[in-house]
Structure 1
Amino acid sequence: MTSYADRPWLARYEAGQPGDITPDYATGLDIFRAAVAAQPQMDAIRYFDQSISFTELDAASTSFAAALLEHDLQRGDRVGLYLQNDPAFLIALIGTWKAGCAAVAINPMNKQRELSYLLGDSGAVALVCLDDLYDQVAKEVISAPDSAVRLVVTCSALDHQSRSDERVLGGTVKHTPEGTLDLDTLVAQFADRSVADPGLTPDDLAVLTYTSGTTGQPKGAINTHANLAFNAQTYRDWIHLKAGDPVIAIAPLFHITGLVAGVMTALLLPAPLVLFHRFEPGVALDAIREHQPVFTVAAITAFLALSNAPGATPEDFASLRTLYSGGAPIAPAMADRLEKIFGAYIHNVYGLTETTSPSHAVPLGVRAPVDPVSGALSVGVPVYNTVVRVIDDEGNDVPPGEVGEFATSGPQVVAGYWQKPEATASSLPNGELRTGDVGFMNEDGWYFVVDRKKDMINASGYKVWPREVEDVLYTHPAVREAAVVGVPDEYRGETVRAFVSLTDGQTVTPEELVQFAKEQMAAYKYPREVRILEELPKTVTGKILRRELRDTNG
């Protein structure tokens, strides 16, 4: 394993991080059961003006598990979670595990085309979703002849609270769409049922979290119970969190960061998890003022939005003594500016879906160095039990200071991609993850990400694969060629720009193409700008030169 003994930063880190840890628990369900036993009356969830204790969450999740079993779900079946940051996410996640099943985390911004693919690829037989998402998106997908989903459970953002904040819940009306079952009603109906221990193992699939790969087609990362248990403990021990320290979920729970840093870490401590449906700066600020959370991980754009929320003062953030940021790069000047506002240094954390959140982090209380050449802020050092090599194209280690691809091994690295053996063999040879991220390690052992080997676009921490956007644009009759690139954006880090050439005799405006894509894609994916060119630049073999387009001025 990685040795820290000769790293200069170790002397500046009071606790002296060891190289290895042994997880306290084998599965996510073990973690939850320990929390219930240790703190049965503690708030497990705080949602606007109401709370749910660990005992109440235990009962609700058991009832949900009983309902799944009543509807003939079998061990290993997949249950889609098409939800925002609501209590239903935890009830359904834990209940799914109690039934011996696995969850599929689905972005609630996904539209019909995307949802159809994820449900079909995962083979999900049940879906838990918000009632309005069912009406707007899921109904048509579920009704398709090839859908395997036979049970749909709906819920409302209005459940388990009475504040109904207009900023995030305006216009929401709770209802149970025809052909679906209401979650709270199911929980009440099965309140007297118990379920047998499903006998989950560390190697069992806990959650399928979808990422994108070199083909542009989403791939389901097999996040096992062992992966979740290890990295939840990584957050707890690396950051010195204590039982009862409230955690606020700013990152979405369907994302690996929100799932591990939010849900799993709060269960492990145990501690209250503060939820507020979806991120809106003013609503998040109110939740911080009211619930006094200690810890969060969020994209730097979220911290920036919080700092600019009307009425925000440094005193509002006094409880948040432990701040980490991941998902998008932090400019050193931005880190300095936000520290003055939050009163705490925002530490970098780095990882991927395939590393179940962190593979690197800046030790608590240590300031990350800035590379004098590139100006990049370090993403930290490898976390516990983790080996990160920097390699060349042939897989050979490169010396400190030389740029190469990060290749990561450790207990948090997934076993592979769901039903994609070729992609698994390519990206995870011998269990070592070829991340596709390019950077270097300096002489002191700090790691810096300087570029991405792949063409993935990183918009506010969300990953966008250009080919997926291009495929949508190609469905427009006026589009002859399309190429999508990421371009720098002051707020989002990167934003999506598309270049197209038109079919002879066809006309369309850039604005019409933006709207066309917007109607078919999640909000973070569609191009914010479309440029129409007579011809797109190509190689002599006809391959479109994305890099040349990316370097286009303006």
Structure 2
Amino acid sequence: MNNTKHFEFWPARLPKSLTVPKTTLFEDLEMTTRKYPDKVAMQYYGASYTYEEIYSEAQKLAGYLEHELGIQKQDKVLLFIQNSPQFLISFFAILRLRAVVVPINPMSVTEDLEFYVKDCGINHGIVGQELINKVLPLKESHLLSELIVATYSDYINQSNTSLELPSLVTEPRQTNIEVISWHEAMQAEKKATEFNGKENDVAVIPYTSGTTGLPKGCIHTNRTVQANTVGAAHWMNMTADTVTLTTLPLFHVTGLVHSALTPIYAGGTLVILTRWNRENAAKAIEEFGCNHWINISTMLIDFLSNPNLENYDISSLTQIGGGGAPLPEAVGEDLYNRTGLRFVEGYGLSETISHTHFNPPDRPKLQCLGIPSFDVDARVIDLESGEELGANEEGELVVNGPQVFKGYFQRDEENEKSFITLDGKSFFRTGDIVKMDEDGYFFIVDRLKRMINASGYKVWPTEVESILYKHPAVQQACVVSAPDEKRGETVKAFVILKENYKGEVDEGDLINWSKDQMAAYKYPRIVEFKEEFPTTSSGKILWRELQKNS
């Protein structure tokens, strides 16, 4: 049964349902350019670019891709670039041809890229200059035909910024006869044939992280992406005067939708950082008056722990939120005390091109996924029987909505396992264990694969982590399972201490404190201090890497 309890807490200004436009993502940029041609679309390390300039460059690149590289409708194109104007120019240029963007994590190595290229049948790529050596072996082995290489320094103005510039951003343009330079492609002044894109054209195939096996490509059309692009614009109150701090990686669905496509749809300005740097983030908020910032909890924790933060005026912020991992309650309270803002948490997956759930901005709950977004039917089912569960019962989250993908690319068997039919509707099985409270808000319990079985008791690492964050010495925590002769598995916590507590708090102190904070079977039996955690480029802690060392 579709639960509607959450409508009691729905933002009063918004309709309960939203009509998804039939226009394409490329037409979003085109229409915004018509409305605001001279408005600044992007700020990038001292340089600014209007919508007219970005649109014009996307058109030029599309012409080159079509006439020189022969890229046609539904061809898959590798997009292997860091956050930059060139990422988004490339994104729209590929869509201009009704081709398909395959955005790949810049941290990927050659072996990873070989898998993606073969799996998706990719022939051409657009690559950041600093990443080219990872990709060239695939060209030399004829897996890839042609590569266009972008240099970030072509788009900066060092003399006009107080931001600290990452070395990869200042690196001058290199000459390489094996590839085509971005500069050469732009100078060619080619014009693409008439655009006649459709809402159901496949637009982008983001890959899952592969935490439960090989990565899988998620097929998204213009329509599935538009559902969340337009939904986010309404939910987060975006206008043409919104200034977005773009720090989440754009290859990732949350960064792409919330920090790029949505503000472009609204006609706002993007302040783009290629590398996360908490000092630069604070400077950018102050200098450009950023009022919208979607991030990840690890990013916000680092931002708030900056001892220089008090020196910056960040009062322009009016909307701050994110997803990827639950924000610890203690961090949310710290944010509120400093800014008066509540963190608006959301939940989503590559399979749903970011969010299916949002917290109402005027009534968010901490450590909460939120309520189902526009036209999303979200339910909790029993892990074994598949029966629908009620309030406060833990089970697997399944979702039906306009943003749900069209299936995994060339994975028929996976597609069969990934969907379930309830009341005649198809629901995607997320693999996440959740519970829904009496208000219709959803809360993550944990990933099904991450549960710790300690003496037969289920321990969800996320819950233990959230309690550890309440200790004043804890900056970051990651909980994993460790082998134990008696219990089978036991609870181990990796902890990064705040600077002023290093040497003042030891492992035993945290274990003893934890005993008083949680049930006997939950508290960590082992604590190990770290200086840093391995993370994905989107900021998620790689808990499996830590568990390997346990």
**Could you state the TM-score of these two structures normalised by the residue count of structure 2?**
0.79
User: Aligned AA for 1:74?
Assistant: Q
CA separation of 1:531/1:151 partners in 2, compared to 1, >3 Å: closer, same or farther?
closer
Partner residue of 1:477?
none
Distance 1:486 1:5, change over 3 A: closer
Determine the structure 1 residue equivalent to 2:147.
152
**Residue type matched to 2:341 in 1?**
A
**1:157 Cα deviation from its structure 2 partner:** 2.1
- Alpha-carbon distance, 1:194 to partner: 2.6
Residue aligning to 1:546: none
Match of 2:219 among 219, 222, 225: 222
Aligned CA RMSD, in angstroms, stands at: 3.0
| Equivalent residue number for residue 302 of structure 1 | 299
- SS at 1:316 equivalent: coil
What residue in structure 1 maps to residue 330 of structure 2? 333
**Corresponding position: 1:85 with 2:83:** yes
2:341 matched residue in structure 1: 344
Alignment of 1:379-398 (within 5 A): 379-392=369-382, 393-398=384-389
Alignment partner, residue 498 of structure 1: none
Residue type of the alignment partner of 1:169: S
Judge conservation of contact 1:285–1:309 (CA < 8 Å) in 2.
no
C-alpha displacement of 1:114: 1.0
User: In the alignment, what sits opposite 2:138?
Assistant: 141
Shift of 1:530: 7.5
User: Which residue number corresponds to residue 76 of structure 1?
Assistant: 74
Is contact 1:80–1:124 with CA below 8 Å preserved after alignment?
A: yes
Give the aligned residue type for 2:374. Y
Letter in 1 for 2:385: E
Quick check: 1:27–1:228 contact (8 Å CA) kept in 2?
no
Matched, 1:453 2:453: no
* Distance (whole Å) between structure 1 residues aligned to residue 62 and residue 23 of structure 2: 20
Corresponding residue pairs, total: 469
Give 1:75's aligned amino acid: K
- In 1, are the aligned partners of 2:380 and 2:395 still within 8 Å (CA)? yes
Instruction: Render the CA deviation track for 1:74-126: whole Å, top value 9, x for unaligned.
Output: 21101111111111101100000112211101111111111111122111111
Residue 419 in structure 1 maps to residue 410 in structure 2: yes
Equivalent in 385, 395, 398 of residue 404 of structure 1? 395
Is structure 2 residue 27 aligned with structure 1 residue 30?
yes
2:239 to 239, 242, 245: 242
Note if contact 2:381-2:395 (Cα within 8 Å) is conserved in structure 1: yes
Give me the whole-angstrom Cα distance separating, in 2, the residues matched to 1:334 and 1:214.
27
Q: How far is 1:310 from its partner?
A: 4.7
Structure 2, unpaired ranges of 5+? 452-460, 466-479, 481-488, 498-533
Q: What amino acid maps onto 1:112 in structure 2?
A: T
Secondary structure of the residue aligned to 1:173 is coil
Q: CA shift at 1:438, angstroms?
A: 0.5
3-state SS, counterpart of residue 413 of structure 2: helix
| Structure 1 residues 212 and 250: CA distance shift in structure 2, 3 A | closer
Question: How much has 1:326 moved relative to structure 2?
Answer: 0.5
Structure 2 CA distance, aligned partners of 1:6 and 1:226? 25
Amino acid paired to 1:384 = F
Tell me the CA shift for residue 25 of structure 1.
4.6
- 1:154-194 CA-to-partner distances (Å, cap 9, x unmatched) read 1112121122865522673321323111113311222xx33
For structure 1, which segment, 447-456 or 392-401, has the greater mean C-alpha deviation from structure 2 after superposition? 447-456
- Indicate the residue corresponding to 1:539 in structure 2: none
Partner of residue 431, structure 2: 436
* Residue 527 to residue 389, structure 1, CA distance change in 2 (3 Å): closer
Residue 531 and residue 180 in structure 1: after superposition, are their counterparts in 2 closer, same or farther (change >3 A)? closer
The answer to which of 306-315 and 112-121 deviates more is 306-315
Match of 2:127 in 1: 129
Letter in 1 for 2:153: L
Q: Deviations over 1:208-257 (max 9, x none)?
A: 11004585100001121111111011111112121221111121000000
Aligned to 1:119: 117
CA distance in 1, matches of 2:22, 2:496: 39
How far residue 277 of structure 1 moved from its aligned partner, in angstroms, is 1.2
* 2: CA distance, partners of 1:314 / 1:398: 49
Structure 2: distance between partners of 1:151 and 1:237: 40
Instruction: Give the corresponding residue for 2:317.
Output: 320
Does the CA contact (< 8 Å) of 2:64 and 2:191 recur in 1?
no
Q: Give the deviation of 1:404 after TM superposition.
A: 0.7
Q: Does structure 2 retain, via aligned residues, the 8 Å contact 1:400–1:442? A: yes
Q: Secondary structure at the match of 1:209?
A: coil
Instruction: Indicate the residue corresponding to 1:178 in structure 2.
Output: 177
Match of 1:291 among 261, 271, 288: 288
Q: CA deviation at 1:345?
A: 1.2
Partner-residue secondary structure (3-state), 2:166 = helix
Is the counterpart of residue 161 in structure 1 residue 152 in structure 2?
no
Tell me by how many angstroms 1:297 deviates: 1.0
SS of residue in 2 equivalent to 1:454: helix
Would the alpha carbon gap of residues 141 and 450 (structure 1) be closer, same or farther in structure 2, given more than 3 Å must change?
Answer: same
What secondary structure does 2:152 align onto?
A: coil
Report the Cα offset of residue 443 of structure 1: 1.5
Tell me whether 214-223 or 235-244 shows the greater mean CA deviation: 214-223
Retained in 2: the 8 A contact 1:214–1:454?
no
Equivalent residues in 2 for 1:29-108, closer than 5 Å: 29-70=26-67, 71-108=69-106
Question: Where does residue 189 of structure 1 map in the other structure?
Answer: 188
SS at match of 1:334: helix
- Of stretches 282-291 and 357-366 in structure 1, the one that deviates more from structure 2 is 282-291
1:9 Cα offset (Å)? 2.7
Unaligned runs of 5+ in 1: 370-376, 460-465, 467-483, 493-516, 533-548, 550-554
Aligned twin of 1:474:
none
TM-score computed with the length of structure 1 as normaliser: 0.79
Retained in 1: the 8 A contact 2:32–2:264? yes
Q: CA deviation at 1:311?
A: 2.0
Distance 1:354 1:50, change over 3 A: same
| Aligned-partner SS, 1:187 | helix
Q: In structure 2, do the counterparts of structure 1 residues 235 and 59 end up closer, same or farther at CA, with 3 Å as the change threshold? A: same
Partner of 2:52: helix, strand, or coil? Answer: helix
Deviation (angstroms), 1:420: 0.9
Q: Report the CA distance shift for 1:489/1:86 in structure 2 as closer, same or farther (over 3 A).
A: farther
Residues of 2 paired with 1:314 and 1:122: CA distance?
48
Letter in 2 for 1:378: C
Q: Distance in 1 between matches of 2:492 and 2:282?
A: 30
> Can you list the C-alpha shifts for 1:493-521, whole angstroms capped at 9, x where unaligned?
xxxxxxxxxxxxxxxxxxxxxxxx99xxx
292 and 9 in structure 1: CA distance in 2 versus 1, 3 angstrom threshold: same
Matches within 5 A, 1:459-470: none
Letter in 2 for 1:83: I
**3-state SS of 1:325 partner:** strand
1:217 partner SS? coil
Q: Distance in 2 between matches of 1:391 and 1:62?
A: 47
Does structure 1 retain, via aligned residues, the 8 Å contact 2:286–2:312?
A: no
Q: Distance in 2 between matches of 1:49 and 1:411?
A: 39
What residue identity is the alignment partner of 2:303? L
The alpha-carbon distance between structure 1 residues 314 and 405, as it changes in their structure 2 partners (threshold 3 A), is: farther
Q: Please tell me whether the aligned partners of residues 283 and 312 of structure 2 are also in contact (alpha carbons under 8 angstroms).
A: no
Amino acid at match of 1:84: Q
1:443-490 C-alpha deviation (Å, 9 max, x unpaired) = 11111111211349999xxxxxx9xxxxxxxxxxxxxxxxx9996555
